[in-house]
Amino acid sequence: MWKWLHPYAKPERAYQLCNTLLPWFALPAVVCLVVGTIWGLAYAPQDYQQGDSFRIIYIHVPSAMLSMSTYVAMAIAALVGMVWQWRTAYMAMIAMAPVGAVMTFIALLTGAAWGKPMWGAWWVWDARLTSELILLFLYFGVIALYTAFEDKQQAGKAAGVMALVGVVNIPIIHYSVEWWNTLHQGSTITKFDKPSIATEMLWPLLLNIFGFALFIALVTTMRLKNEIIRREMHRPWVQMLVKQKETNDAV
């Protein structure tokens, strides 16, 4: 059933696929992000409780949501690499890792910034923020493990195992932190008491979530292209590519 995918396991084909996909990610990503952000920040109605400060959700929510899903995507890539022995799957996994880490960092930063007007402190040990912080640590672990190995193929496999260990842990971490939070702080007001969000506010948010997702896909594809080229530097097909580029530039 997945047979049609197998040719893309070859780095050369994967590279071509990246090239075809790039414009399809780039254009919609820019459109969604520009429209969503301007709409959200300038035109969406104010929140009746939080005033204008709520507008940070247009950055915070997409980055927080996608930081988790990027990690899951990494684990899926690692699993694919393990089951079918695809080199490119590990490359894709490691292409995602820093992007996901940056998303997590953005979520933490915007969450902290939001905390100031909400709770009067830059950092509060809120359950969601704490989970995000631990997620950032998990990303660090995968990236650190990958960089520690000289042989990048071995590095990919090792980092893949760690990504899978992390993904088994994410739900456990999530619930444990939530539980810990209710134990120690009583029931504070969580930021998202059930999204009873108005539709005028929802649309730009959805656009931005979509835009962030496409943006992550775009950066990942670009990084994957680099990774493939870097790893396959000595292969004939890469050298052909370089020659072609040189002749094109000469003309």
Partner 1 sequence: MGGVFKRDLALAFRQKAELVQPLMFLLMVVTLFPLGVGPGPDTLQLIGPGVIWIAAILSSLMGMERLFRDDFADGSLEQLQLSGLPLYAVATMKVLCHWLVTFIPLLILSPLLAMFLNLTVDMYIALVITLLLGTPLLSLVGAIAVGLTVGLQRGGVLLALLLIPVFIPLLIFATSAVDAAALQLPYRAQIAIIGAMLLIAMALAPAAIAYSLKVSQN
Partner 2 sequence: MSGLVASELSCIKRDRVLFDRLSFSLQSGQLVYLRGPNGAGKTSLLRILCGLSQPESGTITWQSQPLGEHWFKDLIYVGHKPGVNGALTAIENLAFWCRQHSVSASLDHLYHVLAELGLVGMEDVPCRTLSAGQQRRVALSRLWLKSAKVWILDEPFTALDVKGVAQLEDKMKAHVDAGGAVLTTSHQALSERAGTVRFFDLEYRF
- If contact means CB under 5 to 8 A according to the sort of partner, which of partner 2, partner 1, none does residue 162 touch? partner 1
**CA 24 – CA 214 distance, rounded (Å):** 9
Q: Which is nearer to partner 1, 165 or 233 (CB)?
A: 165
**CA 194 – CA 65 distance, rounded (Å):** 15
Stretch that binds partner 1, among 67-75, 88-96, 136-144, 235-243 (CB under 8 A): 136-144
Residue selected from 24, 140, 192, 237 as contacting partner 1 according to rule CB under 8 A: 140
- Chain residues binding partner 2 by CB under 8 A are 150-153, 231-235
By CB under 8 A, residue 53 contacts partner 1 = no
By CB under 8 A, residue 84 contacts partner 1 = no
What tokens were used for 53?
Answer: 């400060």
Find, among 24, 9, 104, the residue nearest to 65 by Cα: 104
- If contact means CB under 5 to 8 A according to the sort of partner, which of partner 1, partner 2, none does residue 182 touch? none
Angle between helices 57-84 and 127-148 (to 10 degrees): 40
What tokens were used for 212?
Answer: 């962030």
**Which spans in 40-151 are helix H?**
57-84, 87-119, 127-148
DSSP state letter for 49: T
By CB under 8 A, residue 169 contacts partner 1 = yes
CA atoms within 13 A on the CB side of 204: 21
Q: Which is nearer to partner 1, 24 or 180 (CB)?
A: 180
Q: Report in angstroms how near the CB of residue 201 gets to partner 1 at its nearest.
A: 34
Residue ranges that bind partner 1, judged by CB under 8 A: 82, 134, 137-138, 140-141, 144-145, 148-149, 151, 153-154, 157-158, 161-162, 164-166, 168-169, 172-173, 176-177, 179-180, 183
